[in-house]
Amino acid sequence: MKDGFIKVAAGSPKLKVADCIYNREEILKGIREMEMHQAKIMVFPELCITGYTCGDLFWQEQLLKVAKEQLIVLAEETVHTDALIFVGLPWEQSGKLYNVAAVLNHGEILGIIPKKCLPTYAEFYEGRHFTPGDEDIIFTEVNGKSVPFGINQFFACEEMPRLLVAAEICEDLWVPNPPSVRHCMEGATVVVNLSASDEVTGKSLYRKSLVQNQSARLICGYIYATAGDGESTTDLVFGGHNLIAENGTVLSEAKRFVNQTIYGDLDVSRIISERRKMTTFGPQTRKGYQVTSFSVKEEDTKLERYFDPKPFVPSSKEDRDRRCDEILMIQAMGLKKRLEHTKCKSAVIGISGGLDSTLALLVIARAFDLLGLPREQILSVTMPCFGTTDRTYTNACTLTNRLGATLKEVDIKEAVRVHFKDIDHDENVHDVTYENSQARERTQILMDLANQSNGMVIGTGDLSELALGWATYNGDHMSMYAVNASIPKTLVRHLVRYYADTCGDEQLEKVLLDVLDTPVSPELLPPENGVISQKTEDLVGPYELHDFFLYYMQRAGFAPKKLYRVACHAFAGTYENDEILKWLKTFYWRYFAQQFKRSCLPDGPKVGSVAVSPRGDLRMPSDACVRIWREELDAL
């Protein structure tokens, strides 16, 4: 439960229809298994104590009496179970029969929640037996104690105040306005659903979509437990299609027809963070709700959920092709509009033979194709200087030629030496002045060439460099339109690889693959034996780590300690924990110290959910202090 995580479970016991004693024993077996996994919220299917398919047996006094008795026995048997438990059964109240979820914690029955929406169509006929539940709370007697009865109930965790659990039952989710909508709008962060959804062809896809989308719309955790094959009888077959979702992501999904118990690590803190940021998600006042406290031990939840070490990169080949083409099109369409608006007929780009300028040139070529402009009007400028190697120079020239752009070479060595003389700088002193003088000279050349050709300088710097401030202020930091401004380095690499795989030009593919194989470097220091000596990742750290840090810090709002924990989990076996901590400290220091560079960025297309434009996703003061973030890391 530390860092906002809580382990949850959804299970489908193998039941026997109408055998309440057997079913209670099977539910208890499921609870014992969930205990071994340290699950703190346990959800079982709709009417699981009796079975969903009892039909007119629900009118039998004996079934109702024994079901209630077995609920009480189950409560007694779980007095030492450290969890909030949801089980389903039929319940007589005020002379009517209800389909309810009973809520247990440490041997206490905390609440009874009736189903609101009763399907009475097709194979369902719940309206024949049950009465729809009401939102208003009344109290019912269970084993000599008064227990709240009604839909509008929250269960609040004493140890994790932000964990507020609500419930709905099966069909409640499938209607136009599910109870979970109001539950979450009033403060519920986790919704459980006790279901008995039968299997017909194609239904599982729709069911999964419902759960996934509801968790996204309501920014909540959603735990869905449904009846398994023990319920299958007469005309119906049940598959135990259990699901756990969080804010639009399915964390765990049961294999159907095997009665599988599934587990997931819900991140309650992230749910709260997402809601804070979404201004259209109103205040959550808990108005009109009965709030009942429950208790579970605060433990260090063993993380089993998957944290993608490359959160910006498409995970599958099929998704890669679609996403990469979409991203390239967004970049190109943004540039197309800017060229149209300014009536520029030329685009000027500094081409280095590195990843970023390669991607930018590919985007420019696509934008020119969309505009119907000849690619010869793309001016690709190579500007060799002290750090340029034959490999990158050759790749820059070959790439330009294969794409049909115009290549111009401007050797800047003498111009930089004149500048060194003007400012009285020793060329043998390879400090920041030595490096940045080259970067600013290149930018000056590009700007002046753009003036000559009635063109526009296209920026090549990427999101990862902007997050770290790894750019020369008013050098490569500046352009007239920055097509890579919201593309992180890990995604830049992926996009270039996609282009290489799909371009259909063997020579172009060859040069793109060599660019991908070239170490990332600004090439501002002299090479050693003709080989790149200045490798960016040796200086600031691996970009895959920094992209991970950026995503979960800015997008998810993780605190430093939590970010370190999930990074160690995601990169286990790839980086040592000490190395992760070292580069995380570097990330925070650079992210805060370099905001002044981001505060005056040129325009560029927003591509994903993380960006650092001062006009979009990041309105951050340039003089903010990193102290409280670094102190938490220093305490680890």
The CATH code of the domain that includes 61 is 3.60.110.10
Task: Supply the mean pLDDT for the chain.
Answer: 96
pLDDT at 75: 98
460 near 350, Cβ under 8 Å? yes
Question: Which residue in this structure is represented by tokens 């003709």?
Answer: 530
**Paired residues of 156 in beta bridges:** 164, 293
Whether the per-residue pLDDT at 564 is higher than 90: the answer is yes
Q: What is the pLDDT of residues 254-277, one digit of tens each?
A: 999 999 999 999 999 999 999 999
Please check whether residues 556 and 455 belong to one and the same domain: yes
Q: Which pLDDT band holds residue 319 (cuts at 50, 70, 90)?
A: confident
Q: What is the mean pLDDT of residues 69-95?
A: 98
Mention every residue, 6+ apart, whose C-beta is less than 8 A from residue 250: 208, 211, 212, 243, 244
DSSP label at 52?
A: G
Please check whether residues 398 and 290 belong to one and the same domain: no
pLDDT at 157: 98
Whether the per-residue pLDDT at 533 is higher than 80: the answer is no
Question: Strands 190-195 and 221-226: what pairing?
Answer: parallel
Please check whether residues 466 and 362 belong to one and the same domain: yes
126 a catalytic residue: no
564 near 580, Cβ under 8 Å? yes
Question: Sign of the CA dihedral 559, 565, 566, 571?
Answer: positive
Q: What is the mean pLDDT of residues 377-405?
A: 97
Instruction: Return the CATH number at 347.
Output: 3.40.50.620
Whether the per-residue pLDDT at 135 is higher than 90: the answer is yes
Domain annotation covers residue 310: no
Question: Sign of the CA dihedral 172, 176, 179, 183?
Answer: positive
Domain annotation covers residue 357: yes
Q: In the β-sheet with 455-459, what is the strand arrangement from edge to edge?
A: 406-409, 378-382, 346-350, 455-459, 481-482
461 near 355, Cβ under 8 Å? no
Please check whether residues 137 and 178 belong to one and the same domain: yes
Q: Looking at 294, 328, 352, which one is the last position of a domain? A: 294
170 near 196, Cβ under 8 Å? yes
pLDDT at 254: 98
Q: What is the mean pLDDT of residues 373-384?
A: 98
Q: Residue 449's domain spans which residues?
A: 317-634
Q: Which pLDDT band holds residue 251 (cuts at 50, 70, 90)?
A: very high
Q: What is the pLDDT of residues 136-177, one digit of tens each?
A: 999 999 999 999 999 999 999 999 999 999 999 999 999 999
Please check whether residues 442 and 571 belong to one and the same domain: yes
Please check whether residues 279 and 321 belong to one and the same domain: no
Please check whether residues 95 and 241 belong to one and the same domain: yes
In the set 20, 26, 46, 246, the catalytic residue is 46
Whether the per-residue pLDDT at 524 is higher than 90: the answer is no
Please check whether residues 150 and 223 belong to one and the same domain: yes
pLDDT at 318: 79
Whether the per-residue pLDDT at 616 is higher than 90: the answer is no
User: What's phi and psi for 221, nearest 5 deg?
Assistant: -90, 140
385 near 411, Cβ under 8 Å? yes
Please check whether residues 272 and 417 belong to one and the same domain: no
Question: Strands 243-246 and 221-226: what pairing?
Answer: antiparallel
Domain annotation covers residue 450: yes
Q: What is the 3-state secondary structure (H, E, C) of 216-277?
A: HHCCCEEEEEECCHHHCECCECECCCCEEEECCEEEEECCCCCCCCEEEEEEHHHHHHHHHH
The helix or strand, by DSSP H or E, that contains position 209, with its residue range, turns out to be helix 203-217
Burial classification of residue 304, based on how many CB atoms lie within 10 Å of its CB (0-12 exposed, 13-18 middle, 19 or more buried): middle
Please check whether residues 285 and 356 belong to one and the same domain: no
**Paired residues of 269 in beta bridges:** none
Q: Looking at 294, 326, 354, which one is the last position of a domain? A: 294
pLDDT at 522: 84
Whether the per-residue pLDDT at 331 is higher than 80: the answer is yes
Domain annotation covers residue 301: no
pLDDT at 530: 82
Please check whether residues 322 and 259 belong to one and the same domain: no
In the set 48, 170, 344, 385, the catalytic residue is 170
Domain annotation covers residue 482: yes
69 a catalytic residue: no
Q: Which pLDDT band holds residue 532 (cuts at 50, 70, 90)?
A: confident
625 a catalytic residue: no
Q: Which pLDDT band holds residue 234 (cuts at 50, 70, 90)?
A: confident
Q: Which pLDDT band holds residue 535 (cuts at 50, 70, 90)?
A: confident
Domain annotation covers residue 380: yes
Domain annotation covers residue 304: no
Q: What is the mean pLDDT of residues 46-74?
A: 98
Cα-Cα-Cα-Cα torsion 102, 115, 204, 24, nearest 10 degrees, comes to 30
Question: Which residue in this structure is represented by tokens 């282009």?
Answer: 499
Give the number of domains in the chain.
2
Q: What is the pLDDT of residues 566-600, one digit of tens each?
A: 999 999 999 999 999 999 999 999 999 999 999 99
Q: What is the mean pLDDT of residues 480-494?
A: 97
Domain annotation covers residue 307: no
Report the 10 Å Cβ neighbour count for 626. Answer: 16
pLDDT at 1: 78
**Paired residues of 108 in beta bridges:** 105
Q: What is the pLDDT of residues 282-302, one digit of tens each?
A: 999 999 999 999 999 998 888
Please check whether residues 274 and 399 belong to one and the same domain: no
Q: In the β-sheet with 84-93, what is the strand arrangement from edge to edge?
A: 138-142, 145-149, 108-114, 96-105, 84-93, 41-43, 5-10, 262-267
In the set 7, 40, 68, 115, the catalytic residue is 115
